[in-house]
Amino acid sequence: MDKQDIYLLLNQVASGQISVDQAAFQLKMKPFNDIGYAKVDAHRSLRQGIAEVIYGAGKTPQQIVGIVSAMLEHGQKVILITRMTKEAAELVKTVHPLDYDPISRVGVVGSKPVPNGIGTIVIATGGTSDMPVAEEAALTAEALGNKVVRLYDVGVAGLHRLLAHTEEIMNAQVIVAIAGMEGALASVIGGLADCPVIAVPTSIGYGASFNGLAALLSMLNSCASGVSVVNIDNGFGAAYMASMINHMGVK
């Protein structure tokens, strides 16, 4: 939908030809911007409340630049790019202002919004080795307008490290528990917290961890109530869901 279409639609609302709800429905139904190798969903935020996110893996640096440019042309103010290579980040920086984190491979074009969720999202990891997934979650949550508290290296091998942060756990609106090995952190946090806990198994661990499968099965079989599980290493998916929960009251 271009500017002329939007003005026409707004004039129809102003003149009483159509209702506000009908106009909103038309905006939601406008599909995408076809740039050949991608169909950029310029109105996703109208339907889902969160704009489209670029999954960088498998895309060339040139393709990412083109998608970012298309999004900016349609007025998207904050663009999140996950699983982005260093080469892609270097090229995007020559065209658009980009904040790139090499640990999580997350890039953000534009300024992160002021947090407007109900409360705080706590991101907790079993170990330092889980930080790439944790930072993907934390940066995603921040880009989606959430206040984030990071609790890193608080795994069950030293339970006192987690218990030293009981106040943050008790005050959280949502907790993302990230762990590899046997994935026990999610169950422990689930037994302490009175809010939803989103468990993220990571591919960190020795041979019998099977690249995160052991942690995934452990988290799926958690005896703690209120624990849900996303896919292995999916920090983005966990943060996206956590943000939705943290904005339910606002909605």
| Residue of 74, 73, 77, 102 lying closest to 88 (CA atoms) | 102
H or E element: which one contains 186? Answer: helix 185-190
pLDDT surpassing 90 at residue 36: no
pLDDT surpassing 80 at residue 44: no
Average pLDDT of the chain is: 89
More reliable by pLDDT, 23 or 94: 94
Top CATH class of 120-246 equals: alpha beta
Query: Which residues is 33 bridged to in the sheet?
Result: 40
Within the chain, all domains assigned CATH 3.40.50.1970 are found at 120-246
Return the structure tokens found at 209.
């961890």
Return the structure tokens found at 193.
């917290």
- Residue 198: the pLDDT is 98
Q: Name the percent of the chain lying above pLDDT 70.
A: 91
Average pLDDT over residues 160-172: 93
Q: Assign 3-class secondary structure to 194-235.
A: CCCEEEEECCCCCHHHHHHHHHHHHHHCCCCCCEEECCCCCH
pTM: 0.84
**CB under 8 Å to 72, separation ≥6 — which residues?**
79, 96, 109
Burial category of 222 from C-beta neighbours within 10 Å (exposed 0-12, middle 13-18, buried 19 and up) = buried
Average pLDDT over residues 44-62: 83
- Residue 49: the pLDDT is 73
More reliable by pLDDT, 189 or 7: 189
- Residue 3: the pLDDT is 54
202-246 pLDDT, tens digit each: 999 999 999 999 999 999 999 999 999 999 999 999 999 999 999
Average pLDDT over residues 31-57: 75
Name the band, by pLDDT with cuts 50, 70 and 90, for residue 5.
Answer: low
Helix, strand, coil shares, percent, the chain, to 5: 45, 15, 40
| Residue of 42, 52, 48 lying closest to 5 (CA atoms) | 42
More reliable by pLDDT, 171 or 3: 171
